[in-house]
Structure 1
Amino acid sequence: MIYTRKLQKRALTILSAGLLAFAGWGTAVSPAQAAPAAPASSCSTGDHGILQDLQKNQTAKGADPLTFASVDFLNADTGRAAGNGFVIGTSDGGCHFQEIYQGQWSFQQIEFPDNVHGWALASVKGGQVKYLIRTTDGGSTWKRLSKYPATFERIEFVDGTTGFGYNRASTYYTKDGGSTWTRIPTPANTRGADFTTRSSGWAVVVAQGSGYRIMRTTDGGASWKQLKTVAYPNPQYAQVYANASQVYTVLYGGSGMSQTSYSLYGSSDAGRSWTRIIAQATAGGGPAPGSGPAKQEKGPASGSPGNMQVIGKTSAFLAGYQPAAQMVGTGMTKNNGRAWSNSKTVLGFEGVISFTDPNQGWLAVRNMNSSTLYATKDGGASWKAKFSFKF
């Protein structure tokens, strides 16, 4: 999720603050009712008793325990986390959580551009097929937008009507809240893309035997300009993350022995120059794509890359996880990739991040015994547990 979109999210949240009560998550109330409650005497951590009866029922039936799969915050205080059959939310930075939804949907990704409108990629619990679903009441109720399965691997919404849908080869655009979609032309053999507006976007193309090609369009995909080539004999997959000021791409190498090789490249001048930020070679995955020096030889947790967020003009964050070693961590830059640091790790198999500014963010992690939400106020240098489902 891109910082310019996060700014829009924060603005919409502020505008709606006088209209939305936390208890309703989308229900209109009077300004007096919407006034924040007096702060609690303490801000505890743990599960707060939320959904524990459901968790007990889940495990008693032999069903999979409740686990977090996606997290999306509008600002440091207000956000949601979702997983298999539930959505919870907080409006006080995780001091208290509220149950928003229980039901049939098993969420893979949630996306809220404001405190009312939301979308998700989700499957019916126990199923493999995912659908695009939408809420207009903050997440309490959800409606499937099509009887057909979704082909998207990732969604991003700028506001209550405008958004993008991505899979490895294609990009789609909607201006009616996801009811209809238009395909945006991308180059042949695209393996990752990201658009900041309907006209401005980035794509990474693979050329077998040659490597990766980073390309840009400023006319909605009518034409594309190649700005960077990265040599690699067997290119496979890429991820792209951009905003109006920065663009980053994760270029995947090989995988093996529970290890992944990859390189992270970044640019802050519209692709005219690039920095090789991470070049992680592994015994199981082989060399990292590209050549030349990198700022770091290992990514966060020395493992596979997770999702990434680009924040403002200079900052970016990347999640990483290493299941074999049970480590989840984050990496960050605050100067366009000229320097990169990896945080200490927490115990887990995989993780997903949601940062709202260069210092404050959230991390959802699963391990053998629990699924936990962590918060940071120092850019990921340290993490504090805020909510945990115990298995």
Structure 2
Amino acid sequence: MTRLLKGKLPILLVLFLILLAGCQQNMESTNQADKDSSLVNNSSTASDHRTEETTSNQTVKSTEESDRKSKLTAKTLTDVQMGKVTAVRSADSQSGWIGGEGWIAKTENGGESWNVQYQGTGTINQLFALNGEDVWATLGQGSKLLGSTNGGRNWTVAGKVPNDGFLHFVSKEEGFSANERTTDGGKTWTPLPIPKYTVGDAYFHDREHGWAVTQGKDEIEVKRTIDGGKTWRIVMSRKTVEPLSNALIRSAGTDDAWIECIGGSGMTQTSYSLFHTSNGGQSWQTVLANSTAGGGPAPGFQMDYTAGPKNAGSQPGPLYVVNRKVTFMGGQCMACDKPNTIGWTKDGGKTWVNGNQSFDGYGEELVAFADADHGWLICTDNTKPSEMYTTSDGGKHWRKTYTFERPKQAS
């Protein structure tokens, strides 16, 4: 047996060595495959990192480009000169809009700062806000109508207004400009019938209810419609010495009307009167009767009439109706050092209060009120900056809140 093993040992040794060599080769192949796999995985990971880096760089560049464009836009609007203010409208005590020569700006902090939202050509003549989001503006000759549905962040051309009457909307689609009505947001307008010999603009509170002032030989008549102008009924008639030169109407409800009758002018003085009804014209309250030496007796009154409440100043300023009880009205005295004043009634016109403060500015006086307590007064001038004053106690005290830029000098 020993001899047999000794004879076969060399053969067994050879077979063992061959087997061992094969195992080493398989192990090397496996290791190489693992290395190759590792290289592939590392290459893929590196590629992913490069892709992420490229995407990240593109995103950064895109964001930087967006920011750059945003900054350019903001800079362009910021560079707009907010000079003479020509229109104002508040949405609430803190927010509202002003307009001027080719620009519209908004405040969110009660006039402490302004953000220019629109730049174009032409003067902003009127602003009206239905709420904090829906706002309109009339622009320049031809009365282009601009509109915004997002608080003024974007403005588009909504159409044209057909006249220079008081613009107001009762919904996003329905609005009025004097006796013209739109039901498509200002794209098209349809006239509503008004009486003959109407002085100034008729006023429609809604589709059915409207008011108009007419002038006879020596008589003023206030007329009312409740059927969209198809028929008109006389609700007030007054003898007058001074014929009307204009009439202005505002309303705070279907049965509510504030009628301003403007008479003669002379020596920078204008005579005017203000009447109020809250029951559809069944009864009337004389709110103001401002007779002047230069303009003659207040419309609706005789030459020797001196009784009744008077607004400060020698000519009327803007009329702003807050509700059935509360109305503010500016007054101007062009012969005075501080021409602008403001007065008010808070009991439907039974009593009138003249404020104690007066303000600079020989241009147009502008007024806007969010409620009975919070209001804005803007005084303008052709050679001095417009100035904004605010009140939070119904006109008793006013604080200068903002001074706009000086008017551009003619080259």
**Alignment-derived partner of residue 348 in structure 2:** 336
Question: What is the deviation of 1:331?
Answer: 1.5
SS at match of 1:337: coil
CA contact (8 A) 1:295 1:338 kept: no
Choose which of 189, 214, 217 in structure 1 pairs with 2:197.
189
Q: Which has the larger radius of gyration?
A: 2
Question: What is the deviation of 1:137?
Answer: 4.1
CA contact (8 A) 1:246 1:310 kept: no
CA contact (8 A) 2:77 2:117 kept: no
The sequence identity of aligned pairs, in percent, is: 32
**Structure 1 pair 361–388 and aligned structure 2 pair: CA distance change class (3 A):** same
CA–CA distance in structure 1, aligned partners of residues 173 and 234 of structure 2: 31
Computed over aligned residues only, the root mean square deviation of the Cα atoms, in angstroms, reads 2.3
CA–CA distance in structure 2, aligned partners of residues 348 and 303 of structure 1: 15
User: Do structure 1's residue 151 and structure 2's residue 163 form an aligned pair?
Assistant: yes
Q: How does 1:53-64 map to 2 (within 5 A)?
A: 53-55=79-81
Question: What is the deviation of 1:248?
Answer: 1.1
Task: Using structure 1 for the length normalisation, give the TM-score.
Answer: 0.76
Post-superposition Cα deviations, 1:124-163, rounded to whole Å, max 9, x if no partner, equal: xxxx5433333344334444445x7742332111221111
SS at match of 1:178: coil
CA contact (8 A) 2:80 2:119 kept: no
User: Do structure 1's residue 165 and structure 2's residue 177 form an aligned pair?
Assistant: yes
CA–CA distance in structure 2, aligned partners of residues 275 and 88 of structure 1: 38
CA contact (8 A) 1:276 1:294 kept: no
Question: What is the deviation of 1:366?
Answer: 0.6
Choose which of 67, 71, 74 in structure 1 pairs with 2:84.
67
**Structure 1 pair 187–93 and aligned structure 2 pair: CA distance change class (3 A):** same
User: Do structure 1's residue 379 and structure 2's residue 400 form an aligned pair?
Assistant: no
**Alignment-derived partner of residue 206 in structure 1:** 215
CA contact (8 A) 2:247 2:261 kept: yes
**Alignment-derived partner of residue 120 in structure 2:** 103
- One-letter amino acid matched to 1:66: G
CA–CA distance in structure 1, aligned partners of residues 151 and 76 of structure 2: 18
CA–CA distance in structure 2, aligned partners of residues 261 and 87 of structure 1: 34
Higher relative contact order (CA 8 A, sep 6+): 1
Choose which of 167, 171, 175 in structure 1 pairs with 2:183.
175
Q: How does 1:1-391 map to 2 (within 5 A)?
A: 53-55=79-81, 66-123=83-140, 128-146=141-159, 150-166=162-178, 171-191=179-199, 192-207=201-216, 209-233=217-241, 234-244=243-253, 246-291=256-301, 294-296=307-309, 298-300=310-312, 302-325=313-336, 326-343=338-355, 344-349=357-362, 350-367=364-381, 368-391=383-406
CA–CA distance in structure 1, aligned partners of residues 76 and 278 of structure 2: 43
**Structure 1 pair 281–313 and aligned structure 2 pair: CA distance change class (3 A):** closer
**Greater helix fraction, Structure 1 or Structure 2:** 2
**Structure 1 pair 347–50 and aligned structure 2 pair: CA distance change class (3 A):** farther
Question: What is the deviation of 1:193?
Answer: 2.2
CA–CA distance in structure 2, aligned partners of residues 104 and 134 of structure 1: 16
Question: What is the deviation of 1:51?
Answer: 7.4
**Structure 1 pair 336–130 and aligned structure 2 pair: CA distance change class (3 A):** same
**Alignment-derived partner of residue 63 in structure 2:** none
Question: Where does the alignment leave 5 or more consecutive residues of structure 2 unmatched?
Answer: 1-74, 407-411
- One-letter amino acid matched to 1:312: N
Question: What is the deviation of 1:240?
Answer: 0.8
Post-superposition Cα deviations, 1:228-256, rounded to whole Å, max 9, x if no partner, equal: 11222422311111122532111111011
CA–CA distance in structure 1, aligned partners of residues 360 and 264 of structure 2: 25
Question: What is the deviation of 1:321?
Answer: 2.2
CA contact (8 A) 2:250 2:259 kept: yes
CA contact (8 A) 2:218 2:240 kept: yes
- One-letter amino acid matched to 2:204: F
State the aligned residue count: 322
- One-letter amino acid matched to 2:198: T
